[in-house]
Amino acid sequence: MKRVISLAIAIFFVFSLLMVKGQEGEVGEFYQLKQKEQEVILEILKLDVEKLKSEKALEEISDEIEELNESIKEKTEEINRTSEEIDKEKDTIKTWFRFLYMSGTNAILSLLLMADNASELLHRLIYVDIITNYYYDKLENLYNLVKYKKEEEKQLTLKKEELLKKQEEEKKVIKKIEDLRANKDKILEEIRKKLSNYQKILEIVENTSSSLSSLDFLLSSISKLPWGNLQPKDLKFSFFSAEASFYDKDVTELVQSFDERLKNVEVVFKKEGFEVKEEGKYLAKGNFEIEDDKIKLKFMSINVQGILIEGSFLEKLIEGYDTRLNFNIPLEGWKLKQVSTEDGYVKILLKK
């Protein structure tokens, strides 16, 4: 029970270092991050609202520009039609003047002299003047109309240019908002990554009780296992040395058969060392070393549900556990000289 408590304290200490770095008063970084997350979310929402407003304004400007384009098109068509009317009126006036001065003859003078009396002469003068002024007035009105239409077209074009400038400004505003939004998204992503790590640690701490119990029982059982029951393989003898191998499958069977609580433990030998694991609970890695002519498990790291424990924390964790393999060398006068691992087996070298 004491070992379980010490193990829990060690893992909690690791968790505390991850969890509470940079506290301000009583508020840890986790809660600061949660607060920052809310602030960034509100800023993003504000940017989204501003973007919607700008997009709406841009849409209205685009519609207004479209309407102006239609108006400008209509004005241009009106100017073209009026210009055509002017050309027609010019032709009509030309015809009138050709009538008045036919073939170089002063027809208007002949027309006037053919009057029977002064009253008819006066009437003929008035008619000629009225018709001539009518054509000139109509032509002048058409010129004025073209001038007016062109002024309207100019004003519409100027307004369109102003709207185009506003359109570009709104586009720049939207681009700026999008850039800010992207930056806020990155900040939010980083915050949520950190929060996810913290949340993962919180979940691990909540679910480590069974893992701690299993790991504690394994560490407590290492020196009690019946290592002498293991049958060596690939025996080699010489006058001064002896060599034997033990396969990880055989070691796994030995461990699993020792106690019901170790039935899911698996031992794997690799060139880098050994692995002892129980799926979903822990993974321990290490190497063999020789201490007082006994083989000892030297743990390099233990991963408990995502929490990696190594270094000085690991030393504190396994302090008090006997990790030596208690079996006697059957050959008197022989001593352990080397323990090395390969893929699938461990090789033990004895020398006199």
What does pLDDT average to over the chain? 81
What are the extents of the domains in the chain?
Answer: 29-205, 212-351
Q: What's the pTM value of the predicted model, to 2 decimals?
A: 0.47
At 203, the pLDDT band (50, 70, 90 cuts) reads low
Query: b/e per residue, 259-283, with b = 16+ CB within 10 A?
Result: eeebeebbbbbeeebbebbbeebbb
Architecture of the domain made up of 29-205:
Orthogonal Bundle (1.10)
DSSP reduced 3-state for 334: coil
Q: What is the DSSP letter of 329?
A: -
Q: Does 99 have pLDDT greater than 70?
A: no
**For residues 285 and 273, is the Cβ–Cβ distance under 8 A?**
yes
> For 282, left (φ over 0), alpha (ψ -120 to 50), or beta?
beta
In order of 121, 130, 139, the CA distances from 133 in angstroms are 18, 5, 10
Q: Look up residue 262 and give its two tokens.
A: 């170790």
Q: What is the Cα gyration radius of the chain?
A: 51
At 113, the pLDDT band (50, 70, 90 cuts) reads low
Q: Read off the pLDDT of residues 29-66 as tens digits, 9 standing for 90 and up.
A: 777 888 888 898 888 888 888 888 888 988 999 999 89
pLDDT score of 79 = 84
* Cα separation, 204 vs 192, whole angstroms: 18
| Per-residue H/E/C for 266-286 | EEEEECCEEEEEECCCEEEEE
**For residues 348 and 339, is the Cβ–Cβ distance under 8 A?**
yes
Estimate to the nearest angstrom the gap between the alpha carbon of 196 and the chain centroid: 16
**For residues 15 and 201, is the Cβ–Cβ distance under 8 A?**
yes
